[in-house]
Amino acid sequence: MAAYGDLLEERIPDLRRRLETGELAPEALLEAALERIAAVEDRIESFIALDPDAARRRAAALSEKRRRGEALGALYGIPAAVKDNIAVAGLPMTAGSRMLEGFLPPDDAVVTERLLAADAVIVGKANLDEFAMGGSTETSAYRTTKNPWHPDRVPGGSSGGSAAAVAAREVWYAIGTDSGGSIRQPASFTGIVGFKPTYGRIPRTGVVAFASSFDTVGVLARTVEEAAIVYDALHGFHPSDTTSLPRDREPVAPTLGRDVRGLKVAVPTFWLVGLHPDVRARTEEALRVLEGLGAIVEPVDMPHLAYAEAAYTILTMGEAASNLARFDGLRYGRRFSDARDLAALYAETRARGFGREVKRRVLLGTYFLSAGRYEDMYVRAQKVRTLIRRDFERVFADYDLVAGPTVPTPAFPLSERLSDPVAMYQSDRLTSPANLAGLPAVSVPAGFSAEGLPIGLQLVGDVAEDALVLQAAYAYQAATEHHRRRPAL
């Protein structure tokens, strides 16, 4: 490791400058990542698929591009991981499920196209909870990713492979998806930055659908600045996703460093109860740091936040039941049945192709959408979603940001919550409100528990205020040192 150690700690902007001048070659940076992966991957298990040869060909092609004197993209030569529910042509895409074992997507996702257009180097596909359903990455059909800070703790989920790969210095950034906290919760558990933009900022075409009105593509990186650089390369409307939004008025990364003096920050009282004591302490310290920077921090009452997790559970299960109906054992993916009867072929394929958690959610989602329950449960949850959105609208009439912890606890032990779905869902209770309301939100490192486990601060902005969220997170990070600590691996 010694030869590459310093390179692994460098930031994307510095690497990008050295790559542009030719002082550093994309091949050399990639070899640093591959050597690091070879050294730690058997302990961390961040990846479902790695393709070092394809990455080497890519790095060589990028070197050639520079020699030809062509303009170089914002992510030129920087190695990345992509969550395995996002299509990268040439690499298999499993979504963590047996159902898609061996599936080769015919196209790149739009987010992958944009990564490649920015001259990124994709080294592999990161592990995740099956179909992104989970908060620990343990429901993956393929492997159990470990938290780089503690081998007996979960990395969080569902983007746990993406988070672990960044925290373990296997790559400089990773792409994830966040439907209820799946980027921010693992970022909090692994001591990195996780940014979920406004719903629709990054198009979803080519991303395996879980709950379509919640699913959001976003970025995991070690610092806010790096997350903003990646976000700038990826966001903006694409005609293939009618729910995608236009670009920000200006690129966000150059606006970092703007003064946050006078910024009004609301802290929901409900977000400060029921917390692990160390999470509570770190959150209060973080809020004092924001005050020290000139922000005005005040408690607010948001009465419907207490119902977020229940509404989220009903709505995402209903949407998942509909989305996963496409896995029929006929058109693509695996078939696990020789039945000559169509109904039996479906039922056997789905029984063997889906894991336990996915079955729970598809079954309950089917129940919530059934004739007797639809009005009473599903539509009721949609109305509660409206009330949660109104709570945010009321607060954003007077405040710029909503702040609190990202997760009520530090990373929990492996297998602790696997057979206790309700306890697992509780780890989303502070993150799912941003998805219910479609809001941009970031988790930024805010210190450690007494046991040395990372704790995250969450900042949530109003719709389309992605830049403000990142500016405030950047100001906080510039005033703190938590992100400089790295796991002893």
Partner 1 sequence: MAERLTEETVQKIADAAAIALTDEERQTILKELQEILDFVDVLRAVPVDGVEPTVHPVPLAIFMREDEPERRHDREALLARAPEAEGGFIRVPRVLGD
Site for partner 1 in 368-427 (CB under 8 A): 370, 377, 379-387, 389, 421-422, 425
CB 403 to partner 1: min, Å: 20
Give the nearer residue to partner 1 in terms of CB position, either 5 or 303.
303
Is 136 an active-site residue?
A: no
- Helix, strand, coil fractions of the chain, as percent rounded to 5: 45, 15, 40
Residue in the structure block whose two tokens are 């990639």: 30
Check: CB of residue 119 under 8 Å from CB of residue 75: yes
Q: Which of 79, 218, 333, 404 binds partner 1 (CB under 8 A)?
A: 333
Note whether 200 binds partner 1 by CB under 8 A: yes
Give the nearer residue to partner 1 in terms of CB position, either 166 or 324.
324
Catalytic pick from 179, 182, 244, 337?
A: 182
CB 422 to partner 1: min, Å: 5
Give the nearer residue to partner 1 in terms of CB position, either 225 or 462.
462
Note whether 262 binds partner 1 by CB under 8 A: no
CB 488 to partner 1: min, Å: 38
Q: Which of 262, 340, 397, 488 binds partner 1 (CB under 8 A)?
A: 340
Site for partner 1 in 23-82 (CB under 8 A): none
Site for partner 1 in 233-252 (CB under 8 A): 239, 242-243, 245
HSE, CB side, 13 Å, CA atoms: give it for residue 54.
14
Is 383 an active-site residue?
A: no
Is 212 an active-site residue?
A: no
What is the distance between the alpha carbons of residues 129 and 143, in angstroms, rounded to a whole number?
Answer: 10
Note whether 273 binds partner 1 by CB under 8 A: no
Binding residues for partner 1, rule CB under 8 A, total 71
Give the nearer residue to partner 1 in terms of CB position, either 236 or 421.
421
137 sits in the region (left: phi over 0; alpha: psi -120 to 50; else beta) called: left
Site for partner 1 in 450-479 (CB under 8 A): 463
Note whether 213 binds partner 1 by CB under 8 A: yes
CB 425 to partner 1: min, Å: 7
Give the nearer residue to partner 1 in terms of CB position, either 103 or 448.
103
Note whether 359 binds partner 1 by CB under 8 A: yes
CB 260 to partner 1: min, Å: 25
Amino acid at 77: G
Q: Give the three-state DSSP class for 246.
A: coil
What is the distance between the alpha carbons of residues 369 and 209, in angstroms, rounded to a whole number?
Answer: 18
Cβ burial of 53 (10 Å; 0-12, 13-18, 19+) is exposed
DSSP string, 25-75: -HHHHHHHHHHHHHHHHHHH--EEEE-HHHHHHHHHHHHHHHHTT----TT
Check: CB of residue 431 under 8 Å from CB of residue 159: no
Task: Enumerate long-range contacts of 416-424, CB under 8 Å, 24 or more apart.
Answer: 417/135, 417/136, 418/136, 418/138, 418/139, 421/357, 421/360, 424/134, 424/135, 424/136
Of the candidate spans 51-59, 71-79, 228-236, 338-346, the one that interacts with partner 1 by CB under 8 A turns out to be: 338-346
What angle (nearest 5°) sits at the alpha carbon of residue 166, between those of residues 401 and 128?
A: 90
